[in-house]
């Protein structure tokens, strides 16, 4: 299998401690100058049965820098090319997940009718470092705001309220 040459970023670089489980595979890399995510390389060939969920080893243990989380997202071509989706949509790697057995695993579900093979050395997911803050909770009795209508209501609440008022007179 051929691997591309790493792209050298020009600004905003940070040093991140990383350990490869299999040093014969390349480190994760940014594929283009404009890439914000780096590609994780599959450490071993993994077969996922139809309808089943599998864990694909990403070959690395990453010590996420303080003030960041590492977001793991499936590659956009995964459903189309492989029939695999990530049942949890994304993965979050915390700052304290870097012990000796804490290899990044990519959880995938086979939504096809056939077994799917992810080959050793394949790019399976992308990692993105995201700055985070920890919340200090300030409990209140209420927020003094009008209810928007709940989950999935953006842009529909006002129209539904008008229809409800027209029908009920309230």
What is the per-residue pLDDT across 55-97, written as a single tens digit (0 to 9) for each?
A: 999 999 999 999 999 999 999 889 999 999 999 889 999 999 9
Instruction: Reduce the DSSP state of residue 100 to 3 states and report it.
Output: coil
Region 147-163 average pLDDT: 63
Whether 42 and 124 have beta carbons less than 8 Å apart is answered as yes
Whether 45 and 118 have beta carbons less than 8 Å apart is answered as yes
- 22-56 pLDDT, tens digit per residue, is 999 999 999 999 999 999 999 999 999 999 999 99
pTM: 0.78
Which residues fall within 8 angstroms of residue 127, CB to CB, at 6 or more apart? 28, 37, 38, 39, 40, 62, 70, 71, 72, 73, 93, 104
Which pLDDT band, with edges at 50, 70 and 90, does 150 fall under?
Answer: confident
Whether 70 and 18 have beta carbons less than 8 Å apart is answered as no
- 92-137 pLDDT, tens digit per residue, is 999 999 999 999 999 999 999 999 999 999 999 999 999 999 999 9
Q: Which CATH number fits domain 17-131: 3.40.50.10860, 1.10.287.3610, 2.60.120.460, 2.70.40.10?
A: 2.70.40.10
């Amino acid at each position: 299998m051929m691997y591309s040459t790493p792209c050298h970023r020009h600004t905003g670089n940070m040093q991140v401690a990383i350990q490869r489980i299999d040093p014969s595979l390349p480190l994760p890399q940014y594929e283009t100058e404009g890439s914000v995510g780096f590609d994780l390389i599959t450490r071993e060939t993994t077969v996922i049965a139809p309808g089943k969920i599998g864990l694909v080893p990403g070959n690395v243990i990453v010590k996420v820098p303080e003030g960041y989380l590492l977001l793991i997202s499936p590659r956009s071509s995964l459903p189309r090319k492989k029939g695999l989706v990530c049942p949890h949509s994304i993965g979050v790697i915390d700052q304290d997940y870097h012990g000796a057995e804490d290899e990044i695993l990519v959880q995938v579900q086979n939504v096809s009718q056939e077994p799917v093979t992810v080959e050793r050395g394949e790019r399976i997911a992308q990692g993105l470092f995201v700055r985070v803050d920890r919340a200090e909770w300030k409990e209140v009795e209420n927020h003094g705001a009008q209810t928007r209508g709940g989950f999935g209501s953006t842009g529909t609440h006002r129209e539904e309220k008008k229809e409800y008022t027209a029908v009920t007179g309230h």
